[in-house]
Amino acid sequence: MFKEYKHLEIEKLTNEIIIYWEKKNFFKKKKKKDIYIIYEGPPSSNGSPGIHHILPITIKDLFCRYKTLKGKKVKRKAGWDTHGLPVELVVEKELGITKNDIGKKISIFKFNTKCKEAVMRYYNEWLKLSKKIGYWIDLEKQYFTFKTKYIETIWWLLKNFHNKNLLYKGYKIQPYSPAAGTGLSSHELNFPGGYKKITDLTIIVKFKCIKNTLPKELKKITGEIYFLTWTTTPWTLPSNTALTVGKNIDYVIISTYNPYSFLKINIILAKKLVKKVLSKNFYYVNSKKELKKIKKNKIPYLILNGFKGYKLIGSNYEQLINWFSPYKEKEKAFKIISSDIVTKKNGTGIVHISPTFGEEDFFLSKKKDIPPMLILDKNKIPVPLVDMEGKFIKETPYGFSGKYVKNEYYSDKNRPAKSVDLEIALYLKNINKVFKIEKYIHSYPHCWRTKKPILYYPLNSWFIKTSFFKEKMLKLNNSINWTPKSTGKKKFGFWLKNINDWNLSRSRFWGIPLPIWRTKKGDEERVIGSIKELINEIEKSVKEGLMSYNPLKNFIIGNMSDKNYDSIDLHKHNLDKIILISNYKKPMIRESDIIDVWFDSGAMPYAQLHYPFEKKFLIEKKIMFPADFICEGVDQTRGWFFTLHAISCMLFNSISFKNVISNGLVLDEKGKKMSKSRGNTINPFKIIKKYGPDTIRWYLISNSSPWENIKFNIKIIEKIKQKLFGTLYNVYYFFYIYAKIDNFKLKEKKILLKKRPFIDKWILSELNSLIKKTDYYYHNYEPTKVVRKIENFVIENLSNWYLRLSRKRFWKENYTTNKISAYQTLYICLSTIYKISSPIAPFVMENFYKNLNFYLKKKSFESVHLSDFPQYNIKAINKNLELKMRLAKKITSMIFSLRKKEKLKVRQPLKRALIVINTNNFKFNKFLNLLKREVNIKQIKFFSKNKLSSVTKQEIKVNYKLLGPKFGKVVTLIYKKINNLTIENIKKIETKNFLRLNINDRKICLSKTNVFISTVYLKGWSALCNYGITVAIDTTISDTLKKEGFSRELINRIQNIRKFFNYKITDKIYLYIEKSFFIDKILKLNEHFLCEETLTSELIVINHLKNGIFSFIEKNKIKILLKKKE
């Protein structure tokens, strides 16, 4: 039932509403019309939810609620991303183990069980948050990525990729920790302390050109020519197979001497880097003669020629360290190629490429068809020159065999004095191939567990050929409505343009296993696309004796019940035991990796429906696909946004979401990222409890656009609670008080708009404009603009203006049409505000709406969330009226301002005010009474400026927009001239519509539209001019006015006493006043007015009043006594 809160107690009402919703189950009472689909970006339930999760949740929820109001059936399935590294790391920490212990100290089964437990723990936290923040989401059919049905869809998708030849096994250079024996994800590299500044030995080496492959102008130079190349990883030099230059970078060939051997050489390097490389002992000369003067510490160099990088492309050089050669296509190696990775900042402008130990090198060599330095081992399997432990392979000559390539890999005891890098440098120096040896400080990633530097190492992985679909993905991206635009066009677009193949493999445990079985040699493989297929294959295997029994035999093929599906578990611990048989009767074992969790989440549109095993039509008839809307943080651009897009483009030739908001981040008050290490995180539950969910929701949406980062500021949250919700409460409470007195229950016929007072017409016009605007902004995914419009309407228009001016209508009159109109108007305003605000503040608005309608006994409206979004009535919108009211407000402010200047209290009535408005033909007649009452002035007159020309001055200004393009610099001269025009000349423009000017002997004719003419002030009046309005007040106060002023003072004293004694606003009183000359004077003219205002039924003036209350009006002492009339 209706409750009268003394103050708005958000926490209390929130809890009540939560219970109310649960009891009535409104979430399920959805209307059935068009479907609106939102995909839940599965929150990875691998950690407790934080304050930053509230932002996307709020955005998602508000659009769901909005669309529901608009009559859509909103599909919003909850989903949970359950796999992945972070969960595994949590569990490792809890168990005190490392990756290497899994499968040894603890079984994979146990480990995975623990992971599942951890996930479910966080899941409960998430549920709690959803409930507390008012996130309505369908939990009944929620999906979990670890469920068998989900996995089966993923397998089906992968099989499809395989069938289309888009799934392949290859190797990719990945961060690898030899000390831990494991590959690292980029996530792990970014752990605190991952990147460390280290000092590396760097060398500049000389690659000898094969002269006849050089361009003509270089061929003719006498003597050997070398490419100078710089490297921070000398140990990769034996694996060098190419050098790269920048196409448009300027290079020079220089004749000089080797600083170690002092032998004459010709070197090639980037022009800009000459001074850096040839520093210290070198000096520049410009003749061959000077070049001959060489001393030990003074080596001359002479620039022989200059050319662009592209000239060198295709030239060959001699292998620097010829210990090994690539096992295939070696004729394509040792070539100059070009790429844009070359910069002019470091090194020599020529970059050494080792495709086996650099990610960029790898991609580049693939693109340019350069073979990697792989050799065949005993088993004829191609391997790189460094093994998995980080050692040079056995076959390496010159004592390098079996040495760790990084000194840090040795234990402290066994660490040699010379690192491999140094030894290689010395080796090259001995054979005269080094030009320079230096030290270099740079940041390098380290394994977070072993603290040792990582290697970039070729690891076997399964890939999806995403690069093949680059163009399609770019094209389809254009049809997605991104908010903000830049994320889609730039961030996402650029990312797609540089797309590489998607590495699916993860050498971990808790995830969806790759459904790929292979023979040892890798010559036969089978990709499993369904459980049915797997069971059939196992049966074959059992028949042939490869397996003793079928571990999935309890599964009933074709039975889609959850019970059947939950009876089996398709995780690694079970799947690894399965051995299948190939067509040629060879055993096949499963590829041991699991799938990148991003594939899990990108596949959610299909996997959440168990496509294509159940309800195929939902996808194929495009009922549940693509989504109308998704929303996640910008950091998901390369994450979920990409994986969704990639899978749908490649397999379904479609986008997977039509509208997307990529929201910004929630930072702390100072704009710093929230993190546990900084200690600036905020517990979402605490903050919700303290300020209420709606306050937080409103704050996050109103403060700045969702895509902007937000600095979480408690003070502003407090303000929203006070100012917006407080005002709303006040307005509601006001309505309630009087509606109760008058027993207003919305029973009367709706009063026609044209029969309502103009102030009602005005607020209804504003209201309809508001509906129109908010609907538009909601529709365009701009919630911030929605709430700002609502705030402005509630605070400025409804509360501070409409209600203030209408108060007397509720308070004074009998139950007239005017009053009913006021009630009806206020009711519709409130009810509309609640509806259009409910998506953002679901609890508070529900509470208001419920109370408003319960009081009116309109039970058909149980919940604001089941109502319809209001339709705006175009006929009710009157822009002219809105503009006039804005001016009226402005005029009121100006009059108050004048009163202040003249020290005239508002209680003191004034004789008259004059107003001049520049805009012509503006009829303010209807506003007069309203204005008069508000500013307490007896007479207000509006004048057109012409009539008042004797007392006003006209000011003239240049219309730059028109004159600027026409006259250019002359505009400033025109401005000067015009500024000094006489009043007569200004008037001439007004009457003749043009004016001739002489500027620099040039005759210029200005038309009226070329200038702005405005009125400035009135002589002899207290006046103010602003916004094209001039306002003046007559400051003379007659005796009558003075008395009336006193009477208002007296009323004020009486009202204060009434209030002090807690009289009800409807209580009538007997008023006793002690007789005095002053009192007589006041009462003479104003007695009736006074009684009316103070609900005095009888006024008694007594000579000597006992027990009265003293008060002062100016210096006059008065004594009053009030008695309530029973």
Partner RNA sequence: AGUCUCGUAGCUCAGUUGGUGAGAGCGCUACACUGAUAAUGUAGAGGCCAGCGGUUCAAAUCCGCUCGAGACUACCA
Q: Which positions are catalytic?
A: 42, 81, 598, 636, 640, 673, 676
Nearer to RNA by Cβ, of 780 and 972: the residue is 972
286, 704, 817, 993: residue in contact with RNA (rule CB under 7 A): 704
Could you tell me the smallest distance in angstroms from the CB atom of residue 195 to RNA? 5
43, 349, 602, 605: residue in contact with RNA (rule CB under 7 A): 349
Does 671 participate in binding RNA (rule CB under 7 A)? Answer: yes
Tell me if 1038 sits within 8 A of 977, measured CB to CB: no
> How are beta strands 35-38 and 73-80 bridged, if at all?
parallel
Which of these ranges, 61-69, 95-103, 224-232, 475-483, lies near RNA under the rule CB under 7 A?
Answer: 224-232
Could you tell me the smallest distance in angstroms from the CB atom of residue 703 to RNA? 4
Q: E strands, 348-454, where? A: 351-353, 375-376, 382-383, 434-445
Amino acid sitting at position 528: I
State how far the Cα of 36 lies from the Cα of 629, in Å rounded to an integer.
Answer: 8
100, 248, 486, 993: residue in contact with RNA (rule CB under 7 A): 486
Task: Kindly identify the residues of this chain, within the stretch 990-1009, that bind RNA according to CB under 7 A.
Answer: none
The vertex-713 CA angle with 709 and 716, nearest 5°, equals 115
Which of these ranges, 352-360, 545-553, 688-696, 756-764, lies near RNA under the rule CB under 7 A?
Answer: 352-360
Does 342 participate in binding RNA (rule CB under 7 A)? Answer: yes
Does 272 participate in binding RNA (rule CB under 7 A)? Answer: no
C-alpha 459: how far from chain center = 35
Does 1123 participate in binding RNA (rule CB under 7 A)? Answer: no
Nearer to RNA by Cβ, of 54 and 127: the residue is 54
Q: Which of 735, 696, 689, 702 is nearest to 717 (CA)?
A: 696
Q: E strands, 843-991, where? A: 910-917, 937-943, 952-958
DSSP one-letter string for 605-631: HHHTTTTTTS-THHHHTTSS-SEEEEE
DSSP annotation of 470 reads: H
Does 905 participate in binding RNA (rule CB under 7 A)? Answer: yes
Does 1097 participate in binding RNA (rule CB under 7 A)? Answer: no
Does 703 participate in binding RNA (rule CB under 7 A)? Answer: yes
811, 1021, 1070, 1089: residue in contact with RNA (rule CB under 7 A): 811
109, 195, 410, 776: residue in contact with RNA (rule CB under 7 A): 195
Site string for RNA, 133-172 (x = CB under 7 A): ----------------------------------------
Does 900 participate in binding RNA (rule CB under 7 A)? Answer: yes
Nearer to RNA by Cβ, of 430 and 800: the residue is 800
State how far the Cα of 333 lies from the Cα of 331, in Å rounded to an integer.
Answer: 6
Does 795 participate in binding RNA (rule CB under 7 A)? Answer: yes
Helix (H) or strand (E) holding 59: helix 54-69
Does 341 participate in binding RNA (rule CB under 7 A)? Answer: yes
Task: Kindly identify the residues of this chain, within the stretch 42-101, that bind RNA according to CB under 7 A.
Answer: none
In the numeric block, the tokens 């690192």 are attached to 419
Question: What is the longest distance spanned by two Cα atoms in the chain?
Answer: 130
For 846, residues 6+ apart whose C-beta sits below 8 A from its C-beta are 17, 20, 21, 834, 838, 863, 864, 865
Q: Give the up-direction half-sphere exposure of residue 681: CA atoms within 13 A in the CB hemisphere.
A: 14
896, 943, 1070, 1078: residue in contact with RNA (rule CB under 7 A): 896
Does 682 participate in binding RNA (rule CB under 7 A)? Answer: no
Helix 842-855 to helix 726-742 angle, to the nearest 10 degrees?
10
Tell me how many residues contact RNA (CB under 7 A).
Answer: 108
638, 750, 933, 996: residue in contact with RNA (rule CB under 7 A): 638
42, 56, 175, 300: residue in contact with RNA (rule CB under 7 A): 175
Task: Kindly identify the residues of this chain, within the stretch 433-452, that bind RNA according to CB under 7 A.
Answer: 442-445
Does 261 participate in binding RNA (rule CB under 7 A)? Answer: no
Does 672 participate in binding RNA (rule CB under 7 A)? Answer: yes
For 1097-1111, b/e burial (b = at least 16 CB within 10 A) is eebeeeeebeebeeb
Could you tell me the smallest distance in angstroms from the CB atom of residue 1055 to RNA? 4
Does 231 participate in binding RNA (rule CB under 7 A)? Answer: yes
124, 817, 880, 897: residue in contact with RNA (rule CB under 7 A): 897
Q: What distances in angstroms separate CA 1030 from CA 144, 233, 418, 1026, one per listed residue?
A: 68, 79, 89, 6
Could you tell me the smallest distance in angstroms from the CB atom of residue 850 to RNA? 20
Task: Kindly identify the residues of this chain, within the stretch 1050-1069, that bind RNA according to CB under 7 A.
Answer: 1052, 1054-1056, 1058-1059, 1063-1067, 1069
309, 347, 626, 842: residue in contact with RNA (rule CB under 7 A): 347
Task: Kindly identify the residues of this chain, within the stretch 712-771, that bind RNA according to CB under 7 A.
Answer: 713, 715-716, 719, 722-723, 726-727, 730-731, 733-734, 737
Coil, strand or helix: which one is 129? helix
Does 915 participate in binding RNA (rule CB under 7 A)? Answer: no
1039 burial via Cβ count (<10 Å: 0-12, 13-18, 19+): exposed
Task: Kindly identify the residues of this chain, within the stretch 533-592, that bind RNA according to CB under 7 A.
Answer: none
Which of these ranges, 110-118, 319-327, 354-362, 600-608, lies near RNA under the rule CB under 7 A?
Answer: 354-362
221, 665, 876, 1099: residue in contact with RNA (rule CB under 7 A): 665
Q: Which of 953, 1019, 947, 1021 is nearest to 982 (CA)?
A: 953
Q: Which of 229, 236, 239, 238 is nearest to 207 (CA)?
A: 229
Nearer to RNA by Cβ, of 578 and 978: the residue is 978
State how far the Cα of 809 lies from the Cα of 805, in Å rounded to an integer.
Answer: 9
Is the link from the previous residue into 842 a cis peptide, with omega within 30 of 0? Answer: no
In the numeric block, the tokens 């549109």 are attached to 605
124, 163, 186, 248: residue in contact with RNA (rule CB under 7 A): 186
Nearer to RNA by Cβ, of 145 and 703: the residue is 703
DSSP one-letter string for 6-52: SS--HHHHHHHHHHHHHHHTGGG----SSEEEE-----B-SS---GG
State how far the Cα of 949 lies from the Cα of 963, in Å rounded to an integer.
Answer: 27
Nearer to RNA by Cβ, of 348 and 863: the residue is 348
287, 968, 980, 998: residue in contact with RNA (rule CB under 7 A): 968
DSSP annotation of 658 reads: E
Task: Kindly identify the residues of this chain, within the stretch 972-991, that bind RNA according to CB under 7 A.
Answer: 972
Bridge partners, residue 941, by sequence: 914
Does 407 participate in binding RNA (rule CB under 7 A)? Answer: no
Does 929 participate in binding RNA (rule CB under 7 A)? Answer: no
Q: Which of 586, 629, 233, 227 is nearest to 444 (CA)?
A: 233
Could you tell me the smallest distance in angstroms from the CB atom of residue 672 to RNA? 5
Could you tell me the smallest distance in angstroms from the CB atom of residue 197 to RNA? 11
750, 807, 996, 1084: residue in contact with RNA (rule CB under 7 A): 807
Q: What distances in angstroms separate CA 89 from CA 102, 106, 635, one per listed residue?
A: 12, 15, 21
Does 965 participate in binding RNA (rule CB under 7 A)? Answer: yes
Tell me if 66 sits within 8 A of 839, measured CB to CB: yes
Tell me if 38 sits within 8 A of 627, measured CB to CB: yes
Does 265 participate in binding RNA (rule CB under 7 A)? Answer: no
Task: Kindly identify the residues of this chain, within the stretch 491-520, that bind RNA according to CB under 7 A.
Answer: 491, 494
168, 617, 922, 960: residue in contact with RNA (rule CB under 7 A): 960
State how far the Cα of 895 lies from the Cα of 1024, in Å rounded to an integer.
Answer: 8
Nearer to RNA by Cβ, of 535 and 716: the residue is 716
Task: Kindly identify the residues of this chain, within the stretch 450-479, that bind RNA according to CB under 7 A.
Answer: 456
Could you tell me the smallest distance in angstroms from the CB atom of residue 233 to RNA? 5
229, 315, 825, 831: residue in contact with RNA (rule CB under 7 A): 229
